[in-house]
Structure 1
Amino acid sequence: MSLSKPMATLATATAAAVGGCTASVALYPLDTLKTRMQSESKKDDATEKKPLITWDVENILSLYKGVEYKAAQSTMSKFLYFYAYTAMTNMLLTKDSKSLSTGANLVVGYLAEMFHLPVSLPLEVIITRMQTCKSGESKEGFVQLLQSIWNENGGKWTAFYKGFSAYFVLCLQPAIQFTVFEQVKKLYLKAYKPTTTTLSALEAFLLGAAARSLAIMVVFPYIRAKVIVQAQSKSGAKKQDSIPTVIEKLVHDEGVASLYRGLTPELTKVRVVLCLCFTILSRVRSRRHSCSWSRKRSKPT
């Protein structure tokens, strides 16, 4: 007896959430360093003249500041994304179709990315501030930081949705990833496996990782601009810059290459996260299949 569609959707979303949470906690120091790199400019480097990390206890511990909130944010965003994606896919599928058309798949992926933002973005803003705060502000707790963000933006709830406009582009990442994956898959199968139309699990994972890396490179300027906007405070900026303004300033002041500052740790993190999620999802699915097989064998004949 296989799982019903709602239960299968819940199982897939839960597996993705567990994988995302595990990867986020394991790689949180790298995530902190990545965020610091993305939020700083050459001007900051020239002024402060200090390394990104020093090997003292206080600095090492600062790499883990906010890890519990990152775990919660990652769990919620991954769960809501996969739940929304799977649920919308099941709703659109007909009895005669086994998969969505390319266009429908892209739209579903975009909407699923948008679905978790009302919940996950406020936490993302707070986590970014925790990761990029100066040494004098590092003792601020979650509640104090919450109050600080609220106060410095005139008591407006929109303060917790800084960088939202970047997601109109960032939510295209799954569409770019899907398009690249499908095109590379066709070329790969034609060249190496002309007698079949399917990939092995490992081949699908490797091609998926390559497609995701390329998709991130395409949208990365908006990732960096989003981090800069989220890290800005009233004391650090008289007026909140928009995403296009930040990108324009980066190109004007530091050159086009500055848009890709922090790309290497971003790609490293993505590859490890994909690996962990793939492993956990595979184990959950194999467990589901073994449970279904056990139920079938236990049925009286």
Structure 2
Amino acid sequence: MPAQSKPELSPFGAALAGALGGCFSNAVVYPLDVAKTRIQALPSDVKGKRKNELSILSVMLRIYQKEGISGLFGGFGATMLNTFSMQYAYFFFYSFVRGAYIKRLTKKLPPGSKLPALSTAAELLMGAVAGALAQIFTIPVSVIATRQQVGRLNGRKDASPEGVDERRNESFLTVAREIVEEEGVTGLWSGLRPGLVLTVNPAITYGVFERVKSLVLLSRNNNSTKMSPGLSFLVGAFSKTLATIVTYPYIMAKVRIQARSADSEDATEHNGELPLPNGHRNTHNKNSGAIDILKRVWRREGFLGWYQGMQAQIIKAVLSQGVLFMTKEQFESWAVLIMVFAARLTA
């Protein structure tokens, strides 16, 4: 049978393919990632014209003008490490859980019968379990990457009205050490609770993707198990857009928690055009949770305040996710070749 002519990827192989694809897709759109993080981290205290003009392109342009090309790639190394570890952990746990579920389901079927398509509920549940496990193991890197993207002030708030000239680009280990010194080890797990809630995001993304993919392949009636790169991009973009709209308020709250900029009262002292870097010492928000942040945003801006920066999030997420789904299948093909080659070497 055609579906059995090629070796099936192990959880390790699927995880590696997903992680490499994730790094590649995020690297392609990385300046967008920096800009959307700055927008999301902007405290709701900052009102008026500046906030209304924070389109992703205008923010990218101002970052380039004030900080140069390096500003658009702040925290690149930490973000790539975070992307690789998160994607690897997610794809590993997802492939492992999904494979175990399919094997268990296959044993209950009569011999020779065809495995039915998994329900959307089953795909979502498996995605949520995989996402929760991945979050627990990888969130410290995410916290450090977010702090590096947002930046940190030198401590002289009056030195530059825009806060840009006072930016310090700190190393991965320096940021990690400062977090531990100022907030304790638990500071590395800032945003874990909203992160666990947000496991429904990849769950929705991959659940919808697999469901739509199954429907598309069934409609073709040609026993194909793969979609074209272009179709994979479109289905991936649709899946990620839907997941982003549903979960965005918590995405915004998580970024503010990790950046320690959530509704900071001190933010009103700065008059910069860019979302400002913060000193990480922010006692006002030290114990702010996602619900507290969303309540304050609701009181100050209403429902629309929950979706500050969503356009930037969707643009970045759709492009990144579409590239991820396209490259993941290519990396899977390469992973199969590597596995076959490795098997021959050890034979």
Common topology (TM > 0.5): yes
Residue among 21, 24, 27 paired with 1:22: 24
Residue among 303, 314, 323 paired with 1:267: 314
Measured in 2, the distance between the counterparts of 1:113 and 1:60 equals 33
Amino acid at match of 1:234: R
Residue among 144, 147, 153 paired with 2:177: 147
Measured in 1, the distance between the counterparts of 2:284 and 2:68 equals 25
Which string of whole-angstrom CA distances, capped at 9 and with x for unpartnered residues, describes residues 90-114 of structure 1? 1122333465444332221101101
**Correspondences of 1:73-222 after superposition (within 5 Å):** 73-94=82-103, 95=106, 96=109, 97=115, 100-136=118-154, 137-153=167-183, 155=184, 157-177=185-205, 200-201=227-228, 202-203=230-231, 205-222=233-250
CA contact (8 A) 2:127 2:207 kept: no
2:299 aligned partner:
252
Q: Structure 1 regions of 5+ residues with no counterpart?
A: 295-301
Amino acid at match of 1:18: L
2:270 aligned partner:
none
Distance of aligned partners of 1:12 and 1:194 in 2 relative to their CA distance in 1, 3 Å threshold = closer
- Of 120-129 and 168-177, deviating more is 168-177
1:237 aligned partner:
284
Measured in 2, the distance between the counterparts of 1:75 and 1:179 equals 21
Classify the secondary structure of the residue corresponding to 1:240: coil
Measured in 2, the distance between the counterparts of 1:238 and 1:166 equals 15
Q: Structure 2 regions of 5+ residues with no counterpart?
A: 110-114, 155-166, 261-279, 342-347
Measured in 2, the distance between the counterparts of 1:128 and 1:17 equals 19
Deviation at 1:11, TM superposition (A): 2.2
What is the aligned-residue RMSD (CA, Å)? 3.5
2:45 aligned partner:
43
Measured in 1, the distance between the counterparts of 2:39 and 2:239 equals 24
Which string of whole-angstrom CA distances, capped at 9 and with x for unpartnered residues, describes residues 150-175 of structure 1? 1222x3x2111111111232111244
Deviation at 1:229, TM superposition (A): 0.9
Deviation at 1:145, TM superposition (A): 1.6
Distance of aligned partners of 1:100 and 1:59 in 2 relative to their CA distance in 1, 3 Å threshold = same
Measured in 1, the distance between the counterparts of 2:326 and 2:206 equals 20
CA contact (8 A) 1:13 1:83 kept: yes
CA contact (8 A) 1:92 1:100 kept: no
CA contact (8 A) 2:15 2:89 kept: yes
Deviation at 1:131, TM superposition (A): 1.4
Deviation at 1:10, TM superposition (A): 2.3
- Of 95-104 and 105-114, deviating more is 95-104
* Number of residue-to-residue matches in the alignment: 289
CA contact (8 A) 1:247 1:259 kept: yes
Which string of whole-angstrom CA distances, capped at 9 and with x for unpartnered residues, describes residues 112-144 of structure 1? 101212332111111111111244251432222
Measured in 2, the distance between the counterparts of 1:103 and 1:246 equals 30
Amino acid at match of 1:64: F
Deviation at 1:65, TM superposition (A): 1.7
- Of 51-60 and 106-115, deviating more is 51-60
Distance of aligned partners of 1:196 and 1:141 in 2 relative to their CA distance in 1, 3 Å threshold = closer
Amino acid at match of 1:140: E
Instruction: Give the share of equivalent positions with the same residue, in percent.
Output: 27
- Name the structure with the higher helix share: 1
Classify the secondary structure of the residue corresponding to 1:43: coil
Measured in 2, the distance between the counterparts of 1:172 and 1:226 equals 14
Deviation at 1:288, TM superposition (A): 6.3
TM-score normalised according to structure 2 size:
0.71
Classify the secondary structure of the residue corresponding to 1:44: coil
TM-score normalised according to structure 1 size:
0.81
CA contact (8 A) 2:82 2:138 kept: yes
Distance of aligned partners of 1:60 and 1:90 in 2 relative to their CA distance in 1, 3 Å threshold = same
- Of 34-43 and 166-175, deviating more is 166-175
